[in-house]
Amino acid sequence: MKQLHSTRYCVCVSHCSLDHGEPFRIRPGLQKYFCDLTLDPNTANTQLILSENGEVKYVEQPQPYPDHPERFKDIPQVLCRESLTGRHYWEVEWTGWARIAVAYKTISREGTVGKFGYNNKSWCLFCISDGFCVWHNNQNKNIPAPSLFSKRVGVYLDWPAGILSFYSVSNTHTLTHLHTFNNTFTEPLYAGFKVFDSSLSLCKITQQTNN
């Protein structure tokens, strides 16, 4: 699996008031909210292969992973290790169909009820080839693909303010707002991903300072 090589400035906004589909430039100096996430192998479904460079790939053949109470048994999903309770930003590249999510650690590990977005313990962006769909508590909303459509998504979480925003990230470092959830979070959140006949990679962002 190839290593991603990316230099990206991070953007975070304190008040997510952008209209849907509104693009804006990524501004240097706001990368302080970037968080370096790591996939948790103890949560990975047996039809997922994780790599050290932050890639998760779906495979037909189940892998001989040891039993673990935190492993997703029926859905090809994985959580990250980091507990998120502050302001955080991360980016993901995806192929095929993928769900980019945050979830409470108490999410079910068995059955469809544990699928990201199908319960009140997770929020997700479902990514397909021609658009997006957001899910929470088994309710969904279609999001048309923006004009600057790409297969890189930025996620901004402001846990204290109850804000979770998804952005499409273009090759020109421009973010297009896709959707914002407004919630009252009651537990730490964990980034999570679901892939099926596809793959997904956590992006590295090189933090830079102005001279």
Q: What percent of the chain has pLDDT over 90?
A: 72
Chain mean position to CA 59: 20
Can you tell me the distance from the alpha carbon of 179 to that of 133, in angstroms, rounded to the nearest whole number?
9
Contacts of 93 by beta carbon, 8 Å cutoff, 6+ apart: 4, 151, 152, 153, 200, 201, 203
Average pLDDT of the chain, as a whole number: 86
pLDDT of residue 13: 34
Q: What mean pLDDT do residues 121-136 have?
A: 95
Predicted structure pTM score: 0.85
CA atoms within 13 A on the CB side of 168: 23
Calculate the CA dihedral of residues 63, 64, 66, 67 and round it to 10 degrees.
Answer: 70
Structure token pair of residue 72:
């997703």
pLDDT of residue 145: 86
- The model's pLDDT over 58-115, given as tens digits with 9 standing for 90+, comes to 999 999 999 999 999 999 999 999 999 999 999 999 999 999 999 999 999 999 999 9
Can you tell me the distance from the alpha carbon of 166 to that of 75, in angstroms, rounded to the nearest whole number?
23
User: Is 108 within 8 Å of 123 (Cβ atoms)?
Assistant: no
> What domains can you pick out in the chain, each with its CATH number?
24-202 (2.60.120.920)
pLDDT at residue 17 greater than cutoff 80: no
pLDDT of residue 207: 53
pLDDT of residue 64: 97
Tell me which residue has tokens 């292969």. Answer: 49
User: Is 23 within 8 Å of 148 (Cβ atoms)?
Assistant: yes
Can you tell me the distance from the alpha carbon of 34 to that of 11, in angstroms, rounded to the nearest whole number?
8
